[in-house]
Amino acid sequence: MKELRRLVFAAAAVAASAAVLIPACSTEPPRPDAGVDAGPVDAGADAGPIADAGADAGADAGVDAGLDAGADAGVDGGVDAGACNPGLKACDGGCISSASCCFSAECLQGRTCQAGACVLQACGAGVNGCTTFTDLSAPAADRTITFGFIGGSFVFSPKCISVKQGQSVTFTGGDFSVHPLLQTCGPVEAIAHTTSGTTASFTLNTTGDYGYLCEVHHTLGMSGAIRVVP
């Protein structure tokens, strides 16, 4: 009897404690909340901004690079070129006459662009292979240079001549449209760039060596030189 009573008391105690605990558990709200907080909702929300940052970076890079590059290239180039009045052209940030040069590449062979003008360079020694010259300085000498495809070669003949200051030389016998004549060095521009016709004469008033060539066949040896002596 004593034993039974003890058991009942123990059971009652357990029930009592359970009665205390169970209500406490069933009414405790933090458990579901804790689950929500630790769950994928927060993680998802946190991961969201990462995707946004990616989108922002992409948009910034694309838009900025595109606009900046396009605007700079287009506007600067356009303004510089378009800012020059008719008859002028852009050069080194300013405007110069369209008839002037800006780069040596705009000049004919043998010339460099200096202060807007193509300036002929002096001839070096032995220009176009001429180290000795046929003397045609006598008053009665025939100062004619025949040019063209002659005897199986592209030539100026004679190739190397010397004349007196003030004398004239005549290029003849060929077609300048096939063999464009260009002076490529000398003290002054004396042999005009000739691209049509069959005969042309030039008076040489300044002493010095003059080099010239056929623009088409000069690599095949079609070139020559004139030495003008006092």
Question: What is the contact surface with Cu ion in residues (CB under 5 A)?
Answer: 179, 214, 216-217, 222
Phi-psi region of 216 (alpha: psi -120 to 50; beta: other; left: phi over 0): alpha
Shorter beta-carbon distance to Cu ion: residue 168 or 219: 219
Backbone dihedral angles phi then psi of residue 172, each to the nearest 5 degrees: -155, 170
In the bound complex, what is the minimum distance in angstroms from residue 214's beta carbon to Cu ion? 3
Looking at the Cβ atoms of 75 and 216, the one nearer to Cu ion is 216
CB of 158 to Cu ion, least distance (A): 16
How near is the Cβ of 221 to Cu ion at its closest, in Å?
A: 10
CA gap 225, 127 in Å, rounded: 7
Nearer to Cu ion, 94 or 197 (CB): 197
Place of tokens 């006092």: 230
What tokens appear for 39 in the block? Answer: 């769950």
143 close to 200: Cβ distance less than 8 angstroms: no
Please, what is the minimum distance in Å from the beta carbon of residue 73 to Cu ion? 42
Question: Cβ of residue 220: shortest distance to Cu ion, in angstroms?
Answer: 8
Closest CB to Cu ion among 101 and 179? 179
Residue closer to Cu ion (CB basis): 101 or 156: 156
H helices within 27-108, ranges in order?
A: 30-38, 40-83
Cβ atoms of 185 and 210 within 8 Å: the answer is: yes
